[in-house]
Structure 1
Amino acid sequence: MRGLLVERAARMLADREPVTLRALVEGTGASTMAVYTHFGGMPGLWSAVRQEGFTRLATRLDGVARTGDPVHDLAALGVAYAHNALDAPELYRAMFDARADLADAPAADATFERLVTAAARARDAGRLAADTDPLGLATRYWAAGHGLVSLVVQGVLPAESLPPLATDTAVALLTAAGDDPARCRESVQRAWAGG
């Protein structure tokens, strides 16, 4: 029942439906008391919805294998991020609704830390300039990717435009940080191709 209520709340939020206790439990077979039993009330429910989004993202990122090509690995994390959002757009939208606290904020932060670590690996391997700030690069990479993914999730851009736009954006960011343009494009394209 907990999972059902989380999914339903996220879907209602994405559909811009008013989320009241009665509307939330309607058709689920649960009473309004279930929200209090499982979440302690509506604030706890919204916290659980956000947390579920980050939990799924962490699981998706855990599936990204580390290879000998750190630029590929950084791009592959971006690809995993995009696929996670496209697979559950309602949770993706809820993840970034800062009006609800997260039950485990450090776990959410850890998803971003994976990008910082990958950027540091690329710098340390000599693919990026020695003075590259991994945190700054990861922030720019995430912000650009998040923007593109959000436009696709909201229906502004078609899904098929995401791989080429994300590739061009990643190549621009990473070559500005010092990577060789041709080598960078090959690494990023391979990540989007699943290799």
Structure 2
Amino acid sequence: MVRTKDPAIRTLLIERAAQMLRAREPISLRSLVAGTGVSTMAVYTYFGGMDGLWQAVRQEGFTRLAARLATVPLTPDPVRDLAALGAAYTSNALANPDLYRVMFDAGFALEDPAAADEALHSLVRAIERAKDTGRFRPDVNAVALATQTWVIGHGLVSLVATGPLPRQALDHGAPILTALFTGCGDAPDRCRQSVELGWHPDFAPGTPQEHPSAPTTADP
């Protein structure tokens, strides 16, 4: 009789590997499973070996990021939504710091590179909506702007997650994004309001990232 794989064991080994990488601990089959209650055979059962484990660890980071971004509700204000996606990115990184560090280690291949691109695509879609509604200029390169937005979020959260800056430093994201989006054609006051409505990195997953008193519709 074939035993059913337990997804909890797969997750346990992925998170254990990420923690060990973060702590720069020597990783072997035995050290990986030490104290977990599972045998070394589990690495082969769930990943086909250590190479498969490293791929799964990196992919899991992007999988959780995509799931987190999917919780951001769309509103009639695409600039607000773009800022909210950036906030969700930083929240996910702080909630999964070990996996976040491994996500960008190109030394390990990804199981599904296309799935990892979804984070960038979600930003591109919001930017295209901003162009369609006249908030951004028609000539704005959506992929380039999405990349710039990602760079801002990644830079801030990396400095916070590794310790040099306190979490309050994430507040700098709102004025930086406002300047970036204003340069794309959005009206300064309207842009600032939209970004401030969306940029709340500490909100829990699935929570609408708006002030309680904020209007539900930012566009007339």
TM-score band, normalised by the shorter chain? Answer: over 0.9
What is residue 134 of structure 2 aligned with on the other side?
126
Secondary structure at 1:145 match in 2: helix
Identity %: 58
Secondary structure at 2:89 match in 1: helix
What is residue 189 of structure 1 aligned with on the other side?
196
Kindly indicate whether structure 1 or structure 2 has the higher relative contact order, using CA contacts under 8 Å at least 6 residues apart.
2
Q: Distance in 1 between matches of 2:51 and 2:163?
A: 28
What is residue 12 of structure 2 aligned with on the other side?
4
Higher helix share: 1
Q: How far is 1:3 from its partner?
A: 1.0
Q: How far is 1:34 from its partner?
A: 1.4
Secondary structure at 2:135 match in 1: coil
Of 172, 175, 179, the residue aligned with 1:168 is 175
Q: How far is 1:174 from its partner?
A: 0.5
Structure 1 residue runs of 4 or more that deviate by more than 2 Å after TM superposition: none
Are 2:75 and 1:62 equivalent residues in the alignment?
no
Mark the runs of 5 or more structure 1 residues left unpaired by the alignment: none
Q: What root-mean-square deviation, in Å, do the aligned CA atoms of Structure 1 and Structure 2 show?
A: 1.0
Q: How far is 1:45 from its partner?
A: 0.5
What is residue 153 of structure 2 aligned with on the other side?
145
What is residue 216 of structure 2 aligned with on the other side?
none
Count, aligned residues: 194
Q: Distance in 2 between matches of 1:175 and 1:18?
A: 48
Secondary structure at 2:38 match in 1: coil
Q: What TM-score do you get using the length of structure 1 for normalisation?
A: 0.96
Q: Distance in 2 between matches of 1:18 and 1:173?
A: 42
Rg: which structure is higher?
2
Deviations 1:15-42 (A, max 9, x none): 2222221111100122222111111111
Q: Distance in 2 between matches of 1:151 and 1:19?
A: 26
Of 5, 24, 31, the residue aligned with 1:23 is 31
8 Å contact kept, 2:55–2:108: yes
8 Å contact kept, 2:156–2:169: no
Deviations 1:116-171 (A, max 9, x none): 11111111111111211101100111112111111111111111111x21111111
Q: What TM-score do you get using the length of structure 2 for normalisation?
A: 0.85
8 Å contact kept, 2:57–2:99: yes
